Chain A
Amino acid sequence: MKAVVLENIVKTYTTKKSIIKAVDDVSFSVEEGEIFGLIGPDGSGKTSIFRILTTLLLADKGNARVLGYDVVKDWKVIRSIIGYMPGRFSLYQDLTVEENLEFFATIFNTTIQENYNLISDIYKQLEPFKTRRAGKLSGGMKQKLALSCALIHKPKILFLDEPTTGVDPVSRKEFWEMLKRLKAQGISIIVSTPYMDEAKLCDRIALMQNGKIMKIDLPQNIVNEFGKNLYAVHSENMFTLLNDLRAYPQTENCFAFGENHHLTMKEDDPNKLNDYLKSTGHNNFTISKIEPGIEDCFMQLMK
């Protein structure tokens, strides 16, 4: 059985002035026991998909099933088998770590002891602070607590909406390691993130933009399908370099990317580019061929 199936899901929000298609005819499915990533910038429709799958939002069109249960008809069943961690920290800030966990265990008719083994890894790090109020925890700790709370009733499938946004790099890395361990226990995980570097940590990813899915594949396949040579160009004056590169007739695509500019060319000839840059008066520039990342693929697809 598939963990999640979406068929032609459409969700529009109507405001006074305009109609926004948050989710535009999206179909995909997630296998059981995989980590599936929804990758896309803010406003690409990730949260709406999460809310539809967690039965909090009704889609305008299409149907969706979670572990074979229909999100509209069987919402009651779905609610007891899923764990949902919303993008915004939404636990009781005035309750302590332990009280929060106990509360969420109880409303799912279970106890901390019953499923302790599932969260022990994560909760062990929180235990020294268990009498601290949730509002007083650090960002990373809050996420760990939220994950513990989402896991405490032993869900079969976990929905994590931007779990690492605003979390420091070390905590992010730890968080993803936890997800790997949860996956090993047979829990299917659907996670969304705006961070492209996290994409390669997923088993499969869907690249989203403006409510549409641009591509679904293994992260490696998406990278392999890039199909062009990618060059990182660096010089002393990066701003004029970007303008010059974009003015270069052979340039297909050029983006500022960290300390380099990433470039693909129609006629793949770095030597000609070398000459061109010399002629525009750039000194000490370097052109090096690099492996494309997910973000490069995303930029290419967005065009």
Chain B
Amino acid sequence: MRTLIFLLRKEFLQIFRNKLILRIIFVMPIMQLILLPFAANYEMKNILLSIVDKDHSEYSRKLINEFTSTGYFKLTNVSSSYDKALKVIEDDKADLIIEIPQGFERDLIRDNQTKIMISANAINGQTSGLAVSYSNAIIRDFNNDVRTEWIQQPRLNPQPIVEITSSNWFNPKMNYKYFIVPGVLALLVTLVGFILTSLNIVKEKEAGTIEQLNVSPIKKYQFILGKLIPFWVLGMFVLSLGFAVSFIVYGIFPEGSFIIGYLFAGIYLIAILGFGLLTSTFAETQQQAMFIAYFFMMIFVLLGGLFAPIENMPDWAQYLTYVNPVRYLIEVMRMLVLKGSGFWDLRYYFLIVSAFALFFNGLAILNYRKTT
């Protein structure tokens, strides 16, 4: 016991002496939680719009007005021909072209129907998809306005109309920050637990100090606990810091209980620390460890459901996410923060991360040898 306490003391001494790492541990969660949610904005604003108005009529002006008044579109260019407008897209000065053909108003009044063309720059598929669907909605509204203006509605609508109203549960205003912040927090906890642990042990290998420990009578479990506990504490610290930042900056206060959150993160950290430990048994240098860690972090992030929803992924990718521990933390964080899920709702998640914890640590202990 005395040995373990001393190992821990030494580890903390080294952590606190490494001023740069210490600063990063403090600054990283704060900066990332403040910056990332603003940058990872799903709402489309300022879609650059180019108009080719060949009609110059009252209705065409009205339609353009509809677009610019929504706030989503920013009229940056008016061209006289479609080709010229296309050139503007090529120069990256517009995302979307709306071409209003000659006789737009005339056809609308005379034939009751007309056509316009929307062309979107699809280099960023997400942007163009959203821009087109926004435009559709705007044109539909415009359509309805025109109809109510012209037609006296009969008392009973000849055709039944189904009107859809939606309500967004757990995040009524669809504030994407509520969605992103718990996810970023989950990533931060993973980063600290995984990368710092693996680098720390490999550092001992590089410095040769691990040999000195190996020839000493210290036990394997003492060594491993001596490595895991400090980074577990750091991970929990980052979590607390993250909760504080999300409350102060975004006013996000978990709907569910903190105890469940900490309990889950605690088990999760044991799993991810075990993974870090496992990595360190393979890597001989910090460079190798860093690269392995990066490889997994990229996969963890991209298959974690933080940015791209898991439901949108192809089947094989969805299966992969089942073995991604980060996925579970992100989901639990969201369920806890937004939905207020309790222990019973999360029981399977608890089971899964416990299994991860056993698996990674078991493998790491098997693979860690005091002799070569």
Contact = CB atoms under 8 A, between A and B. Distances in A.
Given A56-B372, A89-B208, A95-B14, 10 more contacts: A56-B211, A56-B371, A57-B372, A58-B372, A86-B211, A90-B207, A95-B17, A99-B10, A104-B216, A107-B217
Interface string A49-75: 000001111100000000000000001
A56 B215 contact: yes
Contacts of A94: 14, 17-18
Contact of B212 (A75, A80, A90): A90
Contact of A92 (B2, B10, B215): B10
Interface of A: 54-58, 75-76, 79-80, 82, 84, 86, 88-95, 99, 103-104, 106-109, 149
Tell me which of B207, B209, B212 has the highest count of chain A C-beta atoms within 10 A of its own C-beta. B212
Contacts of A75: 371
B371 A55 contact: yes
Contacts of A108: 216-217
Contact of B207 (A56, A79, A93, A149): A93
A86 B208 contact: yes
B6 A107 contact: yes
A133 to B, nearest CB: 8
Interface in B1-24: 2-3, 6-7, 10, 13-14, 17-18
B6 A106 contact: yes
B215 A54 contact: yes
A90 B209 contact: yes
B22 to A, nearest CB: 12
B3 A88 contact: no
28 contacts: A54-B215, A56-B211, A56-B215, A56-B371, A57-B371, A57-B372, A58-B371, A76-B217, A79-B217, A80-B217, A82-B215, A84-B212, A84-B215, A88-B208, A89-B208, A90-B207, A90-B211, A91-B212, A92-B209, A94-B18, A95-B13, A95-B14, A95-B17, A103-B10, A106-B3, A107-B6, A108-B217, A109-B217
A109 B3 contact: yes
A225 B6 CA distance: 53
Which 7 A-B pairs give the minimum distances between C-beta atoms? A90-B208, A106-B6, A80-B217, A107-B216, A84-B215, A107-B218, A88-B208
Contacts of B211: 56, 84, 86, 90
Contacts of B212: 84, 86, 90-91, 104, 149
Nearest to A108: B216
B257 to A, nearest CB: 40
B218 to A, nearest CB: 5
Contacts of B313: none
Nearest to A159: B215
A108 B222 CA distance: 13
A75 B369 CA distance: 13
B113 interface: no
Q: Which of B209, B213, B218 has the most CB of A within 10 A?
A: B209
A140 to B, nearest CB: 19
A84 B208 CA distance: 12
A99 B372 contact: no
Contacts of B209: 90-92
Contacts of A54: 215
A92 B208 CA distance: 9
Contacts of B208: 86, 88-90
A94 B209 CA distance: 12
Nearest to B18: A94
B207 A92 contact: yes
A79 B7 contact: no
B220 to A, nearest CB: 12
Contacts of A106: 2-3, 6
Interface string B335-372: 00000000000000000000000000000000000011
Contacts of A86: 208, 211-212
B102 interface: no
Nearest to B6: A106
Contacts of A90: 207-209, 211-212
Contacts of A82: 215
